[in-house]
Structure 1
Amino acid sequence: MLQRPLLQARKAPNWPAGPRGHALLGSLPELRTDALGYLRHVRAAYGDLFRMRLGPRNVLMVCEPAAAREVLVAQAGRFRKGRGIQKLRDTLGDGLLTADGETWRTHRRLMQPAFHRAALDRLSDEIVGATAPLLARLASARSGGQEVELGAEMLHVTLRAVAAALFGTALRDEDLRVVERELPPVLEHATARTRAVLDLEVLPTPAARRARASGAALDAVVGRIIAERRAAASAGDDLLGLLLAARDEEGGRLSDAELRDEVMTLFLAGHETTATLLTFLLLELSRSPEWRCRVQTEVRAVLGDRTPTAADLRALPLLGACIQEALRLYPPAWLLPRQATAPATVGGYAVSPDDNVSVNIFLIQRSARFWPRPDTFDPGRWLEGARMPDAFMPFGAGARMCIGNHLALLEATLISALVLRDFTLDVPGGGPTTLQAGVTLKPGGPVCARVG
């Protein structure tokens, strides 16, 4: 361990012990080198609740389900999203991911009906249609003896899927090309800002200029589609149509600016997180050929030659168990940062306004206290029912649980069912063994697969 910190912006709270870290930077150097490995080491040394210092800020790290639910459920009204998430506001506006207080409550109440299972299930045809280019590329790679990079392929297909679910046929081919080209620079710059100790967004760096230009191009596409849909006789039955038609008890609705913010949020939450889930799912099935064989047998028996529908989610229990196990091992939103707005108690420790608390979903779902063989991919645990529901929260918990959880599972099931029915993907050497922990959790390197 490095020396005790010499400078702190505020007195350390009376919290459980943790690593001393660097005199000025605290644990930031170790987190930047190997965040998950370092956090696992610290949890083993200090227990399920420990204090960390990130520069001048102290953070209470929560790796225990009961304390996590105190933050996310029982005392959720005493916390807001953490500072890192707030930095996404320039990109996402006041969408559900970044909003707090009355803005969040109003949007959530208006949007909730559009995300009911029955409403989303009607979008399965759009999601299946968006998968066709992926299946064509996989067939071409198989015939040509080429490898594919699963991370990139899953990003492409989930972006198309969420665009189709959002806009239906309103998104023209040229619009989709704009989204595919301009969304990555925006998200990359936003992610870099959440990790920065000093936010240099005010400086006209090349990345900042590129992100602003890309954001303007995306705004033009989204704004035009919203205007066209407002002027149409029918709002439509895609997600945008449902959001346009949403009304509260007083007849209030989302403004065009609010719709833009929620559309941008759905692009982020509905595409990158689902892409990483699919990448990890296919990677683990490549590493576990016996499970892959069983899943392929199930999918082929249920689907035959037809395309899947939302009703098939219940007819594919083994595929569902594999998806749940991938979510347990690799929760895309692996860390939920919160900042206290009122006095609270977490795990028996006092938390004051402005204190920082982070719920570590990754460590909770990898804890040997709650999960036998916690680092092993074992879908059978979900079929046997031997699980700890309180220690499984890949979409968060409480009122701020991800509103798109069913959409993500719908996308993941339909896309993976089509891929597994028609193809066998093998990752030579087992793929990357490290993980990249940014805003979302990703493989530590390319996942290149042979297509059979």
Structure 2
Amino acid sequence: MGALRADPIGYMRHLRAAYGDVLTMKVGPRDVLMLSDPASAREVLASKAASFRKGRGIQKMRDFLGTGLLTAEGQEWRAHRRLMQPAFHRAALGGMAADIVEATRPTVARLNAAASAGEAVELGSEMMRVTLRAIAAVLFGTGLHEHELGVVERELPPLLERTTERVRAVVDVPVHWPTPANRRAQASGAALDRVVARIIGERRAAAEPGTDLLGMLLAARDEHGQGGLSDREIRDEVMTLFLAGHETTATLLTFLFLEFARHPDVQERARAEVRAVLAGRDPDAADARNLPYVNACIQEALRLYPPAWIVPRQATEPVTVAGYALPAGANVSVNIYLMQRSAVAWPRPDVFDPQRWLGGARTPDAYMPFGAGARMCIGNHLALLEATLIAAALLRDLHYDVPGGGPTGLKPSVTLKPGGPVIAHVSAAAP
């Protein structure tokens, strides 16, 4: 247990090297079947998904996130997924591109100022800010006041941090206990709830719900034109989208720009593509499809550093996986990180090589950064659009260098993060 806590990624890599892609490991008092084999992973996530529910860690998120798509189960999840799916179709996302690009402007201005002053920046913090502004714009359009955005920027991180602590805790402290950490998280949750409730109330009273993502959720109906989501259900989905559309995309972009800094030739090639396609203007949704090398870099960053690096499940009935007969209640973890660094599936698996994504030379069975099966992340296309547009905006006119190559370790929490701050020197890119 000590080795697992000290270096989870290193310990799991050691176990996989010693025992293979299917093994049982001890996590606290529990035995966990860990899978990094694509076929076994698809058993759990797709073909036998009905025999599993989300793992204990994700269940703990309900206390703060509510029962959005991330935490809901069974019929409740299926009903919400059907209602929300149209809002995440590619056609619906096109209208969100302008909001995402607009959200990058403060970050571009801040980075240009840092470049002029010769100041260093911490890429993780910058990416957290820009993705938060982007998802807020996509969710609420112009409905979020500037001071309310400040509330979100201030209160969302501690709420997510407390959620992470509870997910990782071996001894579970009930959320209603008045500990300092619980009181702080509850205060943050209440502040965010007030912002969301104000906007939902105004939209409910308006003649039209709006064309942003919140408006689509308010207007959602089933195939018979019935139903819809209550205010509480909307709140839970908004909180879930803040988590899924903010922190995960921020960590992806942090790793992407860290690899750009480590590979200046890759960075320059990606910048040249952006400049050729944009020709001096802002990117839009169509441009996101016309940046194959930038997209290859994003896919490679997702392969090496999947934000949702491990997917926990718990059996709800006896089921056989990878030849193991599991009883109800058995814990299973699909290790996306190890799967996507398998030497069997990927030549030079630990090397950042965007070229492997060009020309159709990929291995889809060993690549599932958004999960697999019916519960694959509903926002996968939005996340890729967001990452592509933000990357293009931040890369076009600025060059990034991380002296020393940045942190080499990884911090595996609810999402996978760099092992330390990513301090970058930003300068004006050569014409």
Same fold, judged at TM 0.5 (above): yes
Q: Could you say which residue in structure 2 is the equivalent of 1:310?
A: 285
Distance in 1 of aligned mates of 2:319 and 2:163: 30
For 2:21 and 2:116, the matched residues in 1 are separated by: 50
The amino acid of 1:384's aligned partner reads G
Cα shift at 1:343: 2.0
In 1, Cα distance between the equivalents of 2:261 and 2:158? Answer: 31
Name which of 183, 190, 200 aligns with 1:216. 190
Could you tell me which of 374, 380, 384 is aligned with 2:359?
A: 384
CA shift, 1:199, in A, is 1.1
- How far 1:55 sits from its partner (Å)? 2.0
Q: Name the structure, 1 or 2, with higher relative contact order (CA <8 Å, separation 6+).
A: 2
Name which of 370, 376, 381 aligns with 1:406.
381
CA distance in 1, matches of 2:268, 2:297: 12
Unaligned runs of 5+ in 1: 1-26
Q: Is residue 2:212 matched to residue 1:233?
A: no
CA distance, structure 1, for counterparts of residue 240 and residue 289 of structure 2: 28
Which of the residues 386, 398, 401 maps onto 1:423? Answer: 398
Matched residue, 2:38 = 65
Q: Distance in 2 between matches of 1:292 and 1:83?
A: 40
1:351-388 deviation per Cα after TM superposition (whole angstroms, max 9, x unaligned):
12110110000000000010000000000000032221
* Structure 1 Cα separation of the partners of residues 269 and 28 of structure 2: 49
* Equivalent in the alignment of 1:96: 69
Deviations 1:214-257 (A, max 9, x none): 10000000011001000001111000000001001340000000
Q: Secondary structure at the match of 2:3?
A: helix
1:355 aligns with 2:330: yes
Partner of 1:20: none
Distance 1:177 1:91 in 2: 20
Partner residue, 1:339: 314
Matched residue of 2:7: which SS? helix
CA–CA distance in 2 between the matches of 1:159 and 1:188? Answer: 15
Give me the whole-angstrom Cα distance separating, in 1, the residues matched to 2:385 and 2:84.
Answer: 18
Name the amino acid aligned to 2:301.
A
Q: Distance in 1 between matches of 2:204 and 2:277?
A: 41
User: 1:289 maps to which residue?
Assistant: 264
- Give, in whole Å, the separation in 2 of the partners of 1:240 and 1:159: 15
Task: Give the whole-Å Cα distance in 2 for the aligned partners of 1:122 and 1:448.
Answer: 34
Alpha-carbon distance in 1 for matches of 2:368, 2:245? 17
CA–CA separation in structure 1 for the residues paired with 2:325 and 2:359: 39
The separation in 2 between residues aligned to 1:249 and 1:321, in whole angstroms, is 37
Give the Å deviation of 1:293. Answer: 1.0
Question: What's 2:103 paired with?
Answer: 130
Give the corresponding residue for 2:274.
299
Alignment map for 1:245-256 (pairs within 5 Å): 245-250=219-224, 251-256=226-231
- What is the root-mean-square deviation in Å for CA atoms of aligned residues? 0.8
Give 1:35's aligned residue.
Answer: 8
- The counterpart of 1:440, out of the listed 401, 405, 415, is 415
- Which aligned segments of 4 or more residues in structure 1 are displaced greater than 6 angstroms? none
- Aligned-partner Cα distance in 2 for 1:248–1:343: 33
Match of 1:277 in 2: 252
Tell me what 1:451 maps to.
Answer: 426
Q: Distance in 1 between matches of 2:363 and 2:75?
A: 33
The one-letter code matched in structure 2 to 1:37 is G
CA–CA distance in structure 1, aligned partners of residues 94 and 167 of structure 2 = 34
Write out per-residue CA displacement over residues 300-321 of structure 1, whole angstroms, 9 at most, x where no aligned residue. Answer: 0000111001101121000000
Secondary structure at the aligned position of 2:325 is classed as: strand
**Corresponding position: 1:369 with 2:337:** no
Which amino acid in structure 2 is aligned with residue 141 of structure 1? A
**CA distance in 1: counterparts of 2:400 and 2:370, whole angstroms:** 27
Q: Distance in 2 between matches of 1:121 and 1:70?
A: 34
